[in-house]
Amino acid sequence: MSCFKLAFKLLKDNLKIYEHYLMVLVVTVATYYNFVAMRYNETYIQLANRLQSTAIASFTCGFVLLCTVIFFMWHSNGFFFKQRQKEIGLYLLMGISSSKIGMVFAIESFLLGALSIVIGLPLGILFSKLFFMLLGKAVSLNVEFPLTISFKAVLQLIIIFTLIFVFLAFKNYFEVKKSQLINMLNATKKNSTVPKLNYPKGFIGVILIIGGYIIGVNVRQQEFDLLLASMSTLIMVCLGTYLLFGSFLTIILSKLIKNVKFKYKNVRIIWLNNTFFRLKINYKTLAMTAILAASTVTAFSISLSFKQFADDNIIMESPYSFSYISNEAEVKQNVEKVINESKHQLIGVNEISFFVVDTKYLNKKHRIDHKNQAIVTSYSEIEKTLEFLNFKNKEIILDKIRPKENEVTFVLNANTIASPFFVKGEELSMNGRVYTVKEDIKVPFTGNIPTLGRKNIYVISDKEYDELKTSLLEITLNGVSITNPEESEDLISKVAEIVPGGFEKVYPYISQYVWEYYALGIFFFLGLFISVVFILATFSTLYFKILSNALLDRDQYIMLKKIGMSRKEVEKTVYVQVAMEFILPIIVGIIHSIVAMSMVEQIMNVKFTLQISSGIVLFALIITIFYLRLSKNYMKMVYQ
Amino acid sequence: MLNLKKIIEALNVTKEYGETGGIFRALKEVSLEINEGEFVGIMGPSGSGKTTLLNIMSTIDKATLGKVQIDGKEITTIKEKEIAKFRRDVIGFVFQDFNLLDNMTIRDNIALPLTLNNVNIDIIIKKIDELSKVMGISPQLDKYPYELSGGQKQRAVICRALINNPKVIFADEPTGALDSKLSSEVLDCFKRVNKEFETTIIMVTHDAFAASYCSRIMFLKDGKINGRLDSNGNKKELYKKILNMLTVMGGTGDELL
């Protein structure tokens, strides 16, 4: 039989073993095609030309995606190789030359790759229509993304994946070729030694994680340098996680093993000892999984948050169709008249009054207010605005910010997306009076209009505001809401003729900012996309790692069955043991991601509770499915 | 020899392998009775069915036809759920390749059957102490299997097999992987267990020296019982008789020795 025929037959016979691997490969190929196709899509290219960050983001994502895929393929390939070592040994015993067996295995793994492309590519093309529809929705654009099969994308995908598969085939070939018969036949027999305990390392690991958490949680309150703080949190937590699984967990388990009262109870003795011994080989994968899980949950939650963040911020920056400054009744009447004569319909006008004052913080070294100037307005004005915009959660916000005497509420200006400064509880002087900052929020008021849009807003009580009226010049901004604001250029020029000061006092529809949020939408989409592949690849890597442990466990369970372990007890042991190696790192990862998200929340001054919860719930759901599948397969491998 | 209680009763046990057309009968209507407190050896050439018989008597394998009773309990019709508990409470196993869990200390290995039964911890610790003294492995209790010699490992396995006071111990070539000095150490242990705890032992072996420790030896050939020898207490005499018997049975000499 020729090598090729033999390889084909082997692949057919072993398809059951490859089931999960092939499934993940097909999904990977399909998603990768979509990803590449998106980058060659003309509408997308136009979009990317306007926003360079999109191109960079998609390039980074593509790179990370490829790395994860290679990582996954490398590990699972190793698993299959281990599983079939005995088979290779038998062929060697039968007198087939190692180079010929190597050839067969190389061809087999290449055929497997080809199969995944043959199935995955058409599937990917089929899904690409759906994908672009989703993308269109995600970036809230009504642009049609046409369905075209991108030959460039197909070509690129085939080249990249063929390269990987050829590389893996070569790896298998050389590994078989240099293999020793005796090692192959005794493949699963391996002597393990007792893991050594390293108390300082374990201790340092926990300290590093806690330290990283403390920095992360206090990033805003302590006003740490943002880049420095996030980098040190990242490094400390990553390093700490490695030490946690490498040393701290070993110490904990050895303590449990020494505790006779805990250990000698039903099947505990088995999984405790197994996990303890495995840790030495497994801890790197466990730590890696914890970190990848943390990034996945964070990426996923942030992606979801971007969407909400963008939606929220569009209204912050552009609350009105257009606005103008004027306090003269006649001007207002004329503007209304012009609107009624135009093709637009007037929905409403929000009239807000405020002062511009000089501010000075008493104990702050950073400058908080642009040019040390800020807007001062009254509680009623904010209330009126939120009512006008029908702003969500307005009752709760209004309840929270109602200032008492000598208190102000700080409202971040519309021009700044997120401020790292923490002003709550600070004292500042305005117009010769000292106020304490009671609350720190972000709500729409003026919108991101020239000059005023950069100024922070201080909300004081109506009584104190009225007192200021005598000494300061009040400014009135009319926020106008009309139908079809996108096509209001003609109308705006007419309004500018009416309003004294012309275009200096009239602020047209702010469309360019909205565009920036479309970019956020793309980030949102890329983030979701990456998360999905991350989850799939990370879990599958661990999946195969744990299943290769099952190969080592087989003899052990045959013996345990003989000394009277029931199926139920074996099941219990397997489920706990798999949980220790699969769920534990993911729980650690989820805790990491909660801290990471709290950092983002602090910096952006928003609450993403819903997004984090949904991210974690979805993640937990996927883990549960993987966990049950994995435990079931593990059980199948050790108990027949 | 009065009032001896039967512990194992095998009646017309037949075992067939393969499907219709190419049936191979490993055991042909074998009947065997073993009394409480006996140390029975099962010998025979390769392929004679001795391990098959042991596996059927010890619930590891199922007979195609026939009945087997252990301690009055019919095991050929026993339910899958009951088997585990039955093995745990009534039977002890000792195999050629030691079968200790590499990831556990000797103490934990021995404790395993008791922890599965949720026995009180103080009792577990006490029993391990007592038994390990009898088996002479007390100093090795907190070591891992890879730190022990073959003989020590096998004695640890015997210790584990004995820990929940089984009625019968099944041993399949227990000295197969040991040299002659370590073999006699292990066999002495078996003898002591048989005497002191009155545990019934059934041992499959192809080694005449090992068989000479038994009180009775059954010979199997081509799936049938072919002969039997009873010990009169003299090991050397029995050893010679065994060799004669094997020659008569016609197995090749070097295989049997």
Query: Contact B40/B18 with Cβ under 8 angstroms?
Result: no
Write out the E strands in A483-522. Answer: 506-507
CATH number at residue B138: 3.40.50.300
Whether residue A529 is predicted with pLDDT greater than 80 in this model: the reply is: no
B144, pLDDT greater than 70: yes
Average pLDDT of A531-542?
76
Contact A375, A355 (CB under 8 A): yes
Distance, in Å, from the CA atom of B163 to the CA atom of B115, rounded to the nearest integer, reads: 11
Tokens 């996954």: give the residue.
Answer: A72
Per-residue pLDDT band at B1 (split at 50, 70, 90)? very low
A557 to chain B: closest CA residue: B101
CA dist A433 and A357 (Å) reads 12
Pairwise pLDDT comparison (A306 vs B190), residue with the higher score:
B190
Cβ contact (<8 Å) for B118 and A261?
no
Pick from A145, A144, A149: nearest CA to A125: A149
Question: What was the pLDDT predicted at B176?
Answer: 83
Write out pLDDT tens, residues A63-72.
767 777 787 8
- Between B21 and B116, the more confident residue is B116
Tell me the residue type at A413: N
Is the Cβ pair B115, A265 closer than 8 Å? yes
**What pLDDT does residue A293 have?**
84
Minimal-distance CA residue of chain A relative to B55:
A562
Query: Kind and range of the H or E element at A172?
Result: helix A151-177
Contact B93 A268 (CB under 8 A): no
For residue B42, pLDDT over 90 is answered with yes
Interval A558-586: pLDDT, tens: 888 888 888 888 999 999 999 988 889 98
Evaluate whether residue B192 is within a structural domain.
yes
CB spacing of B118 vs A265 below 8 angstroms: yes
pLDDT tier, B81 (very low <50, low <70, confident <90, very high otherwise): confident
Mean pLDDT of chain A: 82
Which of B80, B108, B159 is the best mutation test for A, with the most CBs of A within 10 A? B108
Give the pLDDT score at A414.
Answer: 81
CA atoms within 13 A on the CB side of B136: 11
Q: Cβ A567–B86 below 8 Å, yes or no?
A: no
The pLDDT value recorded for residue A526 is 67
Shortest Cα–Cα distance, A232 to chain B (Å): 38
Q: Which residues from B are below 8 Å from A when comparing CB atoms? A: 60, 80-81, 83-89, 91, 93, 95, 99, 101-104, 108, 111-116, 118, 121, 124-125, 144, 146, 160
The reported pLDDT for the residue numbered B253 is 46
What pLDDT is recorded for position B213? 92
Burial class (CB in 10 A: 0-12, 13-18, 19+), A557: buried
Distance CA A559, CA B113 (A): 12
Q: Phi and psi dihedrals of A545, rounded to 5?
A: -60, -45
Of A194, A276, A563, the CB nearest to B112: A563
Residues of A in contact with B91 (CB under 8 A): 564
Out of A118-127, A359-368, B223-232, which region has the weakest mean confidence (pLDDT)?
A359-368
Under 8 Å between Cβ of A447 and A317: yes
Residue with tokens 């928003």: A606
Rounded to a whole number, what is the distance in Å from the CA of A567 to chain B's nearest CA? 8
Contacts of A498 (CB under 8 A, 6+ apart): A331, A334, A335, A338
- What gap in Å lies between CA A595 and CA A462, rounded to an integer? 39
Interface of A with B (CB under 8 A): 191-194, 260-261, 263-270, 273-274, 276-277, 556, 559-567, 569
Tell whether the model's pLDDT for residue B223 goes beyond 60: yes
Contacts of A191 in chain B (CB under 8 A): 102, 146
Q: Which residue has the tokens 């490498």?
A: A246
| Average pLDDT score, chain B | 86
% of residues, chain A, pLDDT over 90: 14
* Neighbour tally for A242: CB within 10 Å: 19
Helices assigned H by DSSP within chain B? 50-57, 80-90, 106-116, 121-135, 150-162, 180-196, 208-211, 235-249, 253-256
Contacts of B85 in chain A (CB under 8 A): 564, 566
Highest mean pLDDT pick, A506-515, A531-540, B121-130: B121-130
Cα A409 from Cα B231, distance rounded (Å): 102
Nearest-Cα residue of chain A relative to residue B105: A273
Among A603, A625, A622, A598, CA closest to A301:
A598
Determine the residue of chain A that is closest to B58 in CA distance.
A562
H helix intervals, A244-267:
249-258, 260-263
Tokens representing residue A612 in the block: 């984090």
Domain-located, residue B30: yes
CA closest to A259 among chain B residues? B121
Of residues B85, B104, B144, nearest to A564 (C-beta)? B85
Quick check: A265 and B146 CB within 8 A?
A: no
Q: What is the pLDDT of residue A364?
A: 75
- Residue B26, pLDDT > 80, answer yes
- Structural domain contains residue B123: yes
Q: What is the β-pairing status of strands A322-325 and A475-482?
A: antiparallel
Which has more pLDDT, A501 or A458? Answer: A458
Residues of B in contact with A261 (CB under 8 A): 121
Chain B residues in contact with A254 (beta carbon < 8 A)? none
Q: Give the per-residue pLDDT at A210.
A: 95
Q: What is the mean pLDDT of residues A100-113?
A: 87
Q: Is the pLDDT of residue A395 over 70?
A: yes
Please give the torsion angle defined by the CA atoms of residues A152, A157, A158 and A159, in that order, rounded to the nearest 10 degrees. 90
Residue B1 inside a domain? The answer is no
| Cβ pair B75, B251 in contact under 8 A | no
Greatest alpha-carbon pair distance for chain B in Å reads: 57
Identity of the residue in B83, B118, B121 whose CB atom sits nearest the CB atom of A260? B121
Contact A559 B84 (CB under 8 A): no
Please check whether residue B242 lies inside any domain of the structure: yes
Question: What's the average model confidence in pLDDT over B64-75?
Answer: 88
Segment A462-488, tens digit of pLDDT: 888 888 888 888 889 999 998 888 788
Residue A605 has pLDDT above 80, yes or no: no
Interface pTM (ipTM) of the complex?
0.80
Contact list in B for residue A193 (CB cut-off 8 A) is: 144, 146
Query: Does A564 contact B102 at a Cβ distance shorter than 8 Å?
Result: no
Q: Which residues of B touch A563 (CB under 8 A)?
A: 87-88, 93, 112-113, 160
- CA A245 – CA A608 distance, rounded (Å): 30
Q: Which of B55, B86, B101 to probe by mutation at the A interface, max A CB count within 10 Å?
A: B101
Mean pLDDT of B183-187: 88
Number of domains in chain B: 1
How many angstroms separate the CA of residue B89 from the nearest CA in chain A? 8
pLDDT value, residue A137: 66
Q: Note the pLDDT of residue A202.
A: 93
Q: How many angstroms separate the first and last alpha carbons of chain A? A: 33
Q: What percent of chain B has pLDDT over 90?
A: 20
Domain boundaries, chain A: 1-187, 261-317+511-640, 322-509
Q: Which of B80, B102, B124 sits opposite A192 (nearest CB)?
A: B102
In this predicted structure, what is the pLDDT of residue A47?
63
**Does A264 sit within 8 Å of B115, measured CB to CB?**
yes
Q: What is the pLDDT of residue A110?
A: 87
pLDDT score recorded for residue B100: 85
pLDDT level of residue B255 (50, 70, 90 thresholds)? very low
Pick the more confident residue, B27 or A78. Answer: B27
CB spacing of B146 vs A193 below 8 angstroms = yes
Distance from CA of B248 to the nearest CA of A (A): 36
Answer yes or no: do A264 and B101 touch at CB < 8 A. Answer: no
> To the nearest whole angstrom, how far is the Cα of A185 from the nearest Cα of chain B?
17
Nearest residue of B to residue A268, measured between CA atoms: B115
Confidence of residue A328 (pLDDT cuts 50, 70, 90): confident
Measured in angstroms, the CA of B12 and the nearest CA of chain A are apart by 25
Q: How many Cβ pairs within 8 Å bridge chains A and B?
A: 80
Closest residue on chain A to B97 (Cα): A559
pLDDT digits (tens, 9 = 90+) for A132-178: 677 666 655 555 555 667 788 889 889 989 998 898 888 888 888 88
Say what the pLDDT of residue A500 is.
Answer: 86
pLDDT at position A178? 80
Q: Which residue of A has its CA nearest to B83?
A: A564
Q: pLDDT tens digit string along A591-600?
A: 999 998 888 7
Distance from CA of A553 to the nearest CA of B (A): 10
Q: Is residue B103 a part of any domain in this protein?
A: yes
Rounded-to-integer distance, Cα A404 and Cα A401, Å:
9
- Domain interval for residue B10: 6-256
Which of A186, A191, A262, A264 is most worth mutating to test chain B (most B CB atoms within 10 A of its CB)? Answer: A264
The answer to whether the Cβ–Cβ distance between A563 and B114 falls below 8 Å is no
Averaged pLDDT for residues A322-351:
89
Top-confidence residue, A54 or B226: B226
State whether B146 and A277 contact (CB < 8 Å): no
Confidence at residue A361, expressed as pLDDT on a 0 to 100 scale: 86
Nearest-Cα residue of chain A relative to residue B79: A566
